[in-house]
Structure 1
């Protein structure tokens, strides 16, 4: 008996140590390897070609030459670039959009200083993140955790496809309205239209909760574990909510944008700071995940291993029985 308990204790210790290592890699590795990878940046002005060549030589930037400062400002508002360097005989100035990423905005200013030789070129924030915009990254994990909790609770406590889908809609809508009210009205993290922000949060919750619920409906309780680990250990670290997808090691930044947490962060920035600019891709990604989760819930309720099944997996009685 003691030998069996000892082996069990050793197995638990090894499993926990492995989990710790996985979580360390998942959460710390993207930050430890953070660097620009094809980061979109614009240059304009009389020395634009020379500056573009120097940026290209440094690597990590996707440089676009624009005709004038007005075009650079519009590119920032449209989320086509993260920043712009406007050259002039008196020295360069920097345009940034901290609403897209305060971390990237700071880095672009530092790069501009090295290019000009000046200690601090003037910086204009065309699309500011707001007074408390630096706290934007703190929204990501609560949305992921609450989305996982919503899907898990619906899977474990609610029976029937209709009630589960109704519960999923309620979790998403109420979560979106409530979270947007807190993020905008009390915390002051997000600007923009309240309905647009609440809709973005609702869709993100529907995508995360729907995936967890759908997997659970299809394969049972292990589906909750699979869905939770996908969103928490893969989706959340790769969401780039604190930085930008282009700062993550390739190809993980692109992968993160195809998962609900990353798409949600991008969509929230578009809705909260850019009046919906560049929202089409993350909106599509979240809609696909939400619809896929819904389809899995329906499919799980209609499994036919030789006959119609109830949601608890027991075969339904034949008609007339």
Structure 2
């Protein structure tokens, strides 16, 4: 064996080589780094560019006073506020409770004051309170007050982030645990939503972030998880692992930053806050705020948004299932065609062998004779080997004459001139023995 044959090979066809492993690890590291950067940008950039942009607030009171205050607001910060005029303080309060506005100023001489909604936006509530103090309005009425244990509604923000990520993880886990079983995946999504809703609502109640609204908060969280999980399941069913990554990069990370939970959607760059309210994280945050602090006011739009994501997810799951079944049918048809072709080849080979055997059997008799002789010799046992015959010696030629044969010419012999010595006649030649 040569040295080249005994040396182990550094490359194998069965497993990945070290260079491929390094490339894969680098690719994974780059992908994770880019995802982390995107998450950082999605959360930090909206906060850095946060400022009032057409924030809806209300004014109520005498027409002349209200007009002067509206001009003052538009002059101080152009396009910062969308000022809406109400007949009285009660109408403005109702609009605030339905989340049509974030609050406003009551300039009525009988009951001047400021109406705020801390549960909608602690930042805007603080601004309205401060600006009202400059106007001499010290009576502040909070129609959506947060709890004393969590005055900035941090628990709601954390719940939105966790449920958004959990929806993706749950969808990925269901796709791995129940591959090719869309009904089981949908049932698993419902179970996950119910369990998560109860767990998150209980945690918020225990931490003091919400009070007395356990079941409504649990239902809101369950709907949020259901919509996000079904949407992620649909993308995974249609695109596989790429669908999960797409949901993370396109929906979860931007949705958390554009939800406006730390300020308000109207304080984000133009258009981005509105977009965030139609993504699952933004709709989830708005729904939780509505059921936790507003008694359900303004909950219709986020409920419809989350239901829309759930329906979209079901449609994508159906499309992915149909696509997979068609692919399986094509694969089965191809496998059947290959099996039929292999069977036809086998039958053709068998027919060729039969024809060959028939041609040998139909040949001349002499061609088959050696086989019959060999068969008879094999069945009759060992053959008796004949003994060789003895070779008899040839008879000795008798001497015909004592005298040598002489030639016809006198004085000569057949071998030459006559011998003149006295030794007598030569003896005749004797025949050789065999």
Tell me if the contact between 1:49 and 1:65 (Cα under 8 Å) persists in the aligned partners.
no
Paired residues of 2:200 and 2:221 also in contact (CA < 8 A):
yes
Change (3 A) 1:19 1:197: closer
5 Å-filtered alignment, 1:259-298, equals 259-298=279-318
Aligned to 1:309, the other structure's residue is in SS state helix
Q: Distance in 1 between matches of 2:129 and 2:246?
A: 41
Match of 1:93 in 2: 113
The residue number in structure 2 matching 1:105 is 125
Which of these residues, 45, 57, 62, is aligned with residue 41 of structure 1? 57
- CA gap of 1:226–1:76, structure 2 versus 1, over 3 A, is same
Tell me the SS of whatever aligns to 1:121.
coil
Cα separation, 1, equivalents of 2:315 and 2:44: 34
| Greater Cα shift, 292-301 or 121-130 | 121-130
The aligned length equals: 312
| Selected match of 2:319 from 292, 299, 308 | 299
Question: Which of 217, 223, 229 does residue 237 from structure 2 map onto?
Answer: 217
Distance in 2, Cα, partners of 1:210 & 1:95: 39
Residues 39, 254 of structure 2: 8 Å contact kept: no
Deviates more, 1:72-81 or 1:6-15: 6-15
2:70 is aligned to 52
Task: Quickly say closer, same or farther: Cα 1:315–1:255, change in 2 above 3 A.
Answer: farther
Q: Unaligned regions of 5+ residues in structure 2, if any? A: 1-16, 337-434
**What SS does structure 2 have at the residue aligned with 1:236?**
helix
Q: Alpha carbons of 1:176 and 1:5: their partners in 2 closer, same or farther (altered >3 Å)?
A: closer
Superposed, which structure 2 residues align to 1:15-30 within 5 Å?
18-30=34-46
Question: Using the alignment, how far apart are the partners of 2:198 and 2:58 within structure 1?
Answer: 37
Deviation digits for residues 114-137 of structure 1 (CA, Å, limit 9, x no counterpart): 4x2x5x834221221222242222
C-alpha spacing 1:178/1:61, structure 2 compared with 1 (3 Å)? same
Runs of 5+ consecutive residues of structure 1 not aligned to the other structure: none
Contact 1:218 1:296 in 2 (8 A): yes
Q: Bigger CA drift: 81-90 or 39-48?
A: 81-90
The one-character-per-residue Cα deviations of 1:254-290 (angstroms, maximum 9, x if unpaired) are 0000100001111111111112111111111100001
What does 1:91-240 correspond to in 2, within 5 Å?
93-114=113-134, 116=135, 118=136, 121-131=138-148, 132-134=150-152, 135=154, 136-159=156-179, 160-184=181-205, 186-191=206-211, 193-240=213-260
CA, structure 1 residues 5+273, in 2 after alignment: closer, same or farther (shift >3 Å)? closer
* Distance (whole Å) between structure 1 residues aligned to residue 106 and residue 60 of structure 2: 5
Larger Rg: 2
Structure 1, residues 55-112: CA drift from partner, whole Å, max 9, x if none? 2232311111111222222221121110111125599521101121112101222233
2:328 aligned with 1:309, yes or no?
Answer: yes
Q: Deviations over 1:210-267 (max 9, x none)?
A: 1111111111111111112223321111111222111111110000001000011111
* Higher relative contact order structure (alpha carbons within 8 Å, sequence separation ≥ 6): 1
Greater shift in the superposed pair: 203-212 or 294-303 = 294-303
What is the aligned partner in structure 2 of residue 69 from structure 1? Answer: 89
Q: Distance in 2 between matches of 1:113 and 1:252?
A: 31
Equivalent pair of 1:309/1:315 in contact (CA under 8 Å): yes
| Structure 1 contact 102–129 (Cα < 8 Å) conserved | no
Q: What is the CA–CA distance in structure 2 between the aligned matches of 1:146 and 1:85, rounded to whole Å?
A: 41
Indicate conservation of the 8 Å contact 2:35/2:249, yes or no. no
Distance 2:24 2:91 in 1: 65
Q: Distance in 2 between matches of 1:209 and 1:17?
A: 25
* Structure 2 CA distance for aligned equivalents of residues 166 and 213 of structure 1: 12
Q: CA 1:109 to 1:90, structure 2 compared with 1: closer, same or farther past 3 Å?
A: same
Residue 84 of structure 1: aligned partner = 104
Contact 2:117–2:145 (CA under 8 A) maintained in structure 1: yes
State the TM-score, normalized to the length of structure 2. Answer: 0.65
CA contact (8 A) 1:257 1:263 kept: yes
